Amino acid sequence: MCGRFVSATPPDQIAAYFGTEAPEALLEPSYNVAPTNDVYAVLADGSTRHLDAFHWGLVPLWAKDPKIGSKMINARAETLAEKSAFKSAFKRRRCLIPADGFYEWRKGPNAPPKAKKQPYFIHRPDGEPYAFAGLWEVWRGPNKDQDPLRSCTIITTSPNEAMATIHDRMPVILPPS
């Protein structure tokens, strides 16, 4: 499960890597992006890609309160088409979430039960960004005068061989194409 990641590459470099224009909303670089922070997402509108800022933690259309998004930072790939929170976004609103790397924690193999977990930073050896599969949504809420909230979630899957030694889930990682 992806609970923290790094997003420190300047937005113009992210935009160039993913073939988009630089975003209007500029986010501060972060080496510890946490749930409910704003993050960049790459959207496709036909053949054109856009890089925009989104709230990390998907807020479904039907939600009464945006706080529900803090529980929806990840979406299991195996159940996207079934879960009401993700079903609509899975059909129509997919995105890429650029990341310089992500963190996972695990206890050492011989650690006592109350031992602290060791953080691991997973990143590409070539230093290029990851493209996590994601979903996005626009929540308008009960107050029609408020600005819509654009939110996203990271899709997770079973780990590959390398990740299986650290955690039982990992982000779905896509090629930038």
Active site residues: 2, 104
Cα(28)–Cα(8) distance, integer angstroms? 8
Nearest to 90 by CA among 151, 139, 135, 41: 135
Cα(152)–Cα(5) distance, integer angstroms? 14
Q: What DSSP element (H or E) covers 49?
A: strand 48-56
Three-state SS at 140 = coil
Tokens of 135: 């979903």
Residues 90/81, Cβ–Cβ less than 8 Å? yes
